[in-house]
Amino acid sequence: MISLGCPDRTGIVARISTFLADLGGWIVEAGYHTDLDTGWFFTRQEVRADSLPFGIDELRRRFATVAEELDARSDWRVSDTGERRRVVILVSKEGHCLHDLLGRIGSGELDVDLRAVIGNHPTLGPITEAHGVPFHHVPFAKDPAAKAESFERVRQLVDEHAPDAIVLARFMQVLPPDLCDAWAGRALNIHHSFLPSFAGARPYHQAYERGVKLIGATCHYVTAELDAGPIVEQDVIRVDHTDDVADLVRKGRDIEKVVLARGLRAHLEDRVLVHGRRTVVF
Amino acid sequence: MISLGCPDRTGIVARISTFLADLGGWIVEAGYHTDLDTGWFFTRQEVRADSLPFGIDELRRRFATVAEELDARSDWRVSDTGERRRVVILVSKEGHCLHDLLGRIGSGELDVDLRAVIGNHPTLGPITEAHGVPFHHVPFAKDPAAKAESFERVRQLVDEHAPDAIVLARFMQVLPPDLCDAWAGRALNIHHSFLPSFAGARPYHQAYERGVKLIGATCHYVTAELDAGPIVEQDVIRVDHTDDVADLVRKGRDIEKVVLARGLRAHLEDRVLVHGRRTVVF
Amino acid sequence: MISLGCPDRTGIVARISTFLADLGGWIVEAGYHTDLDTGWFFTRQEVRADSLPFGIDELRRRFATVAEELDARSDWRVSDTGERRRVVILVSKEGHCLHDLLGRIGSGELDVDLRAVIGNHPTLGPITEAHGVPFHHVPFAKDPAAKAESFERVRQLVDEHAPDAIVLARFMQVLPPDLCDAWAGRALNIHHSFLPSFAGARPYHQAYERGVKLIGATCHYVTAELDAGPIVEQDVIRVDHTDDVADLVRKGRDIEKVVLARGLRAHLEDRVLVHGRRTVVF
Amino acid sequence: MISLGCPDRTGIVARISTFLADLGGWIVEAGYHTDLDTGWFFTRQEVRADSLPFGIDELRRRFATVAEELDARSDWRVSDTGERRRVVILVSKEGHCLHDLLGRIGSGELDVDLRAVIGNHPTLGPITEAHGVPFHHVPFAKDPAAKAESFERVRQLVDEHAPDAIVLARFMQVLPPDLCDAWAGRALNIHHSFLPSFAGARPYHQAYERGVKLIGATCHYVTAELDAGPIVEQDVIRVDHTDDVADLVRKGRDIEKVVLARGLRAHLEDRVLVHGRRTVVF
């Protein structure tokens, strides 16, 4: 898989596709997009590995020249989609997103290497371990110093796996800025509202108070600004006056699960290219 | 049609249904709702007029006693759904909502008495008049005093029809507080975003900047606080990175039209009961 | 909870609500519906148990008189919604619906007494037992006599629990007519298409061949006619030309899970009243 | 705009993009798709006209060589998207789709050259003419010979405009096979169901009888087999037990209108490539 973002100009597609054709590369799926506002070009191409005369490292080395010609700077990537991606999940007490991801992984739908689940409560340990996945309980105190220590412990537990994705599956703790930086472009959060509506705490309560007729969920990259990172996926479900807050919470869970699963899949398949606060999702 | 909101307690349904049964009233459709948070009860009942031994005025007179017993104060209504409702529409230059409403009225789907269309631009005069509806052009200047005069003129043109609904079909002018008061519970606005996201000006531009994956529209009652009135109906449509602002505007129109039409229908059929910032829509 | 279907006439609501009011019954939620085509009336009422002066059996005994007056025959029900419902799930090899239900039950969202899971393959035994639920493997041969024996074994395993719901969570075996009869109104199936489109085998392949732009799932009561029972819930998801059959299968799973979960919840809360091939879902 | 379908093989994208790059062509939007089942490749490319050194005819002449090399046979097209497309609409008595299209054209959203509206009833003449569009009334008798004559008259009225699209906007007459052939790939129908469910007559009645929980509409190319042509666009809307047939008809209209408008837009922008019974919609 090759993905790239660069300033738009004539001949980019020809340059990349000729590069691949010259190697005999068989393109299985190709996406192209030009952002006319910013004059930026994006592409993602899946090439059959067995159609190439060499391995991923050599492809990466050769493509670097093309990327440089196109002024892509660091904004390109060559990866092996056949390689299983490493994932770590952070949770709190609410289990629906974790149950859902474990089910998808257990049934083979999501073919990833789930290295660990970390919880600030022990609640979800048993189900995690029943799926054969290590669970780490890292308690969080309210005292800032103790909290910083807990985050440091989480960071170590995460970083030792060098994960492709850190999933905040209703983690309920705001990541400190240094972790946002360290995990930039890899930390995915599920927020239980249709952002930018109802950012912050208790979004279903906010939604109820405002009397909206649809509720939603948003999967976004974590950035230092709370609930303001680039959005990968969103969806909504209809509610009405017969739904109290508990109903919103229950109905919303089904949206959270599916939005997070879709966002994670897109991220792990390198389908998401970030462009400022916006995303291109091929 | 009878609708009523009152403090919840045992026996309300029995009281109302016995009242109707004693008159031989045939209930065609009945909605009941209890808001457990606020302890408030709501109902809406459609009774076949020909099953009653007298007319609407006598029914209203008699039901007043029931409403009083139930402490409904002014929060009840007895109306004749067979009577065509009077509607006035306010527009600016954008015609999609007006075209849509004229089409629904012209084809008989929306059986209302459209008394007038008022525009702060003359653009939509010809299509309005082609449908046999009077059009009034009231120019709006930026100067506050002139603007107040224009609003006064609009108020007169509207009020002479004593309309059941004043529809702001992309009117693009913020109603002054006194008009919000005068038309409270009768003025419906269509806002081109999924509120509370992107209130105020240029919501599609805001949505584009934020990179949301769905855009929406909201039909709400007009109140003095901009875009904050009780929501009657909302809907959304999926967009992606290939959609620029012009695409959002175009796709959003289809949602605006249908959300406004549904909200207006619910309002005219007396299906909407306002409860603080929330609505019960039977 | 009281539910009832009977011929429509004046005064039914008054009769039922007066019956409840006289007992001091506090109605928490009430649904009424008149089918104008067939002249049939339906209602469902949730009454707070502690507002009644006696228990469920006495309520049932007393309500029988009302039901008889209203010609409801056997078409009424008085049940205790506080009582946990007994459920048995039938599965094959595909685990997504089972994983989803186990997750909902494990997290407390679906508060039911899951008595057993029965599979015609052993595949889903471990995950079932990890949730502390007994799993029975009943192999199915193709030979009709052996198959009949397997169904007899399934029947015994199911019937010993006298379940309120028998859930065919992608069971992949067509129930024989006698089981359809024995479990009438209690056996819920999830079919992986938007019925009546693509009934029978391999619906996603059928959908792909036909080139539809949305795929769906249907939760329905099992009847002797395949995939033709009364529909409880349906939903769809958008697909496009980039989706091959495997993509349809994957995307469809998310719809199957949520449609089955919603249908099962409605069934267990006695919200579903069957009326010929149609359902009223309060 | 260039679109093409051909057998898949290595180097197609390189061939086409190099062809365009050599001419200095600026690609504004590009879509590529490989159907892995049938080994067929599809592309659609929008090139800025002013970036090319010559006009559309020369581009077509030159591209013919590329298309031949790629074995595309007749399955390619070079067109000028800046040229307004010619459209003829066929209607009967139901006006919602026509009102909607006239509104879109009148407001400039759909920038087409609507040459004529033809109705087998005179009902929709006045609104058509109010929009400045010629209306032709061609009565249809039940007698086959007379009907054939009417179709012949319709054919003449249509063909004199050599339209890019013939839109059956609830025309309610089944086109004879020779017209299906003559207008193949240009005649778009809106069917008021989510096909393949409820093909043929009175689909809303069929949907009501079956008790489905969603109703839909389908925009498809007209072929000799009724309601079986390649699907361009579909959508659905939720309904429930409170909706009788008249409600389904009313709610369905909003889906019909938007599905037809989206399908027509995609067709006129040459975004639809037909592949057997399936479509690629870029």
Nearest CA to CA, how far is C43 from chain B (Å)?
10
The whole-number pLDDT of residue B162 equals 98
User: Is a pLDDT exceeding 90 seen at residue B8?
Assistant: yes
| Nearest CA-CA distance, residue C44 and chain B, Å | 11
Q: Given a cut of 90, is residue D36 above it in pLDDT?
A: no
- CA nearest to A86, candidates A168, A143, A190, A160: A160
Q: What is the percentage of chain D residues whose pLDDT exceeds 90? A: 93
Q: Does A241 contact C at CB distance below 8 Å?
A: no
> Over the stretch C30-58, which tens digit does the pLDDT of each residue have?
999 999 889 999 999 999 989 999 999 99
pLDDT of residue A153: 97
Identify the residue among D3, D198, D213 best suited for mutation to test binding to C, counting C beta carbons within 10 A and taking the highest.
Answer: D213
Residue A81 has pLDDT above 90, yes or no: no
Does the pLDDT value for residue C241 go beyond 90? yes
Closest listed residue to residue C228, CA positions, set C273, C202, C195, C260: C195
Contact A30 D13 (CB under 8 A): yes
pLDDT at A82: 86
Select from B8, B15, B18 the residue whose CB has the most chain C CBs within 10 Å, as the one to mutate to test that interface: B18
Do the interacting molecules here have an ipTM over 0.90? yes
Cα R_g (chain D), whole angstroms: 20
Q: Residue B28: enclosing H or E segment and its boundaries?
A: strand B27-35
Would you call D110 helix, strand, or coil by DSSP? coil
User: Can you tell me the mean pLDDT for B180-208?
Assistant: 96
Using a CB–CB cutoff of 8 Å, tell me whether B146 touches chain C.
no
Please provide the average confidence, as pLDDT, over all residues in chain D.
95
> Do residues C280 and C272 make contact, with C-beta atoms less than 8 angstroms apart?
yes
Residue D210: predicted pLDDT? 96
Interface of C with D in 177-216 (CB under 8 A): 194-198, 209-214, 216
Contact status of A233 with chain C (Cβ, < 8 Å) = no
Contact of C31 with chain A, judged by CB distance below 8 Å, is answered with no
| Residues of D that are catalytic | 227
Q: What are the residue numbers of the active site of B?
A: 227
Contacts of D280 in chain C (CB under 8 A): 241
Task: Identify any residues that bridge with D77 across adjacent strands, giving them in sequence order.
Answer: D3
Chain D hits for C194, CB-CB cut-off 8 Å, are 194, 197, 212, 214
Closest in C36, C213, C241 to D233, CB measured: C213
CB-CB neighbors (< 8 A) of D18 in chain A: 14, 17-18
Region C128-141: mean pLDDT is 96
Q: Write down the catalytic residue from A227, A235, A240, A244.
A: A227
Chain D interface mutation, best of B46, B99, B258, highest count of D Cβ atoms under 10 Å? B99
Cβ-nearest to D32 among A11, A30, A51: A30
Measured between beta carbons, the chain C residues lying within 8 angstroms of A104 are 96, 99
Cβ pair A31, A16 in contact under 8 A: no
Residue C148: CB partners within 8 Å, gap ≥ 6? Answer: C176
A73/B contact by beta carbon, under 8 A: no
Chain D residues with beta carbon closer than 8 angstroms to that of C280: 241
- Report how far residue D282's alpha carbon sits from residue D271's, in angstroms, rounded to the nearest whole number: 5
Cis peptide leading into residue D139 (ω within 30°): no
Q: Give which of C49, C109, C114, C57 is closest to C81, Cα–Cα.
A: C49
Nearest CA-CA partner of A32 in A10, A5, A68: A5
Q: Using CA atoms of B116, B117, B123, B124 in order, give the dihedral in degrees to the nearest 10.
A: -90
Q: What is the pLDDT of residue A36?
A: 87
Helices C56-69, C12-22: crossing angle, 10 deg rounding: 150
Query: What value does the mean pLDDT of chain C take?
Result: 95
* Each residue's pLDDT tens digit, D70-111: 999 889 999 998 899 999 999 999 999 999 999 999 989 999
Q: Are strands B278-281 and B272-275 parallel, antiparallel or unpaired?
A: antiparallel
What whole-number distance in Å separates Cα of residue B268 and Cα of residue B112? Answer: 9
Instruction: Output the pLDDT for position D74.
Output: 86
Within an 8 Å CB–CB cutoff, is residue A52 touching chain D? no
Q: Which residues of C touch D229 (CB under 8 A)?
A: none
Nearest CA in chain D to A25: D10
- Per-residue pLDDT, B237: 97
Chain D interface, best mutation among A8, A10, A47, by max D CB count within 10 A: A10
Q: Which pair of structure tokens corresponds to residue D183? A: 């207008």
- Give the nearest partner residue to D96 out of B29, B109, B130, using CB atoms: B109
- Inspect the interface and report whether the beta carbons of C241 and D33 lie closer than 8 Å: yes
CB pairs under 8 A between A and B: 83
Each residue of A109-131: pLDDT tens digit? 999 999 999 999 999 999 999 99
Q: How does pLDDT run across A155-180, given as a tens digit for each residue?
A: 999 999 999 999 999 998 999 999 99
Query: Partners for A (CB, 8 Å, 3+ pairs)?
Result: B, C, D
| pLDDT at residue number D207 | 97
Give yes or no for D152 touching B (CB within 8 A).
Answer: no
pLDDT (mean) for D130-146: 95
Non-local (6+) Cβ contacts of B83 within 8 A are none
Residue B59 has pLDDT above 90, yes or no: yes
Which pLDDT band, with edges at 50, 70 and 90, does B40 fall under? very high
pLDDT digits (tens, 9 = 90+) for D158-186: 999 999 999 999 998 999 999 999 999 99
The pLDDT tens digits of the residues spanning C3-18 come to 999 999 999 999 999 9
DSSP letters, A81-134, are TTSPPEEEEEE-S--HHHHHHHHHHHTTSS--EEEEEEESSSTTHHHHHHTT--
Nearest by CB to residue B34, choosing from C15, C28, C34, is C28
Q: What average pLDDT does range B46-61 have in this prediction?
A: 93
Residue A191: the pLDDT is: 97
List the structure tokens of B62. 């008699």
Separation CA B28–CA B39 (nearest Å): 27
- Residue contacts between B and D (CB atoms, under 8 Å): 51
C245 with C205: CB under 8 angstroms? Answer: yes
B36, closest residue in chain C (CA to CA) = C28
Contact C261 A254 (CB under 8 A): yes
- Please check the confidence at residue D140 and state whether its pLDDT lies above 90: yes
pLDDT score, position C81:
86
Give per-residue pLDDT as tens, B74-114.
Answer: 899 999 988 999 999 999 999 999 999 999 999 899 999 99
The active-site residue out of C50, C80, C181, C227 is C227
Give the pair of three-digit tokens for residue C39: 């002249």
Asked if the bond preceding D196 is cis, omega within 30° of 0, the reply is: yes
Q: How many CB atoms lie within 10 A of CB A238?
A: 13
- Determine the Cα–Cα distance for residues A233 and A265; give it in Å rounded to an integer: 11
User: Hey, is B4 helix, strand or coil?
Assistant: strand
CA–CA separation, A232 vs A263, rounded Å? 6
Mean of pLDDT over chain A: 95
Q: Distance, in angstroms, between D24 CA and closest chain A CA?
A: 7
Question: Which domains does chain B carry?
Answer: 2-78 (3.30.70.260), 86-281 (3.40.50.170)
Q: Do A10 and D26 touch (CB under 8 A)?
A: yes
pLDDT given at position C36: 87
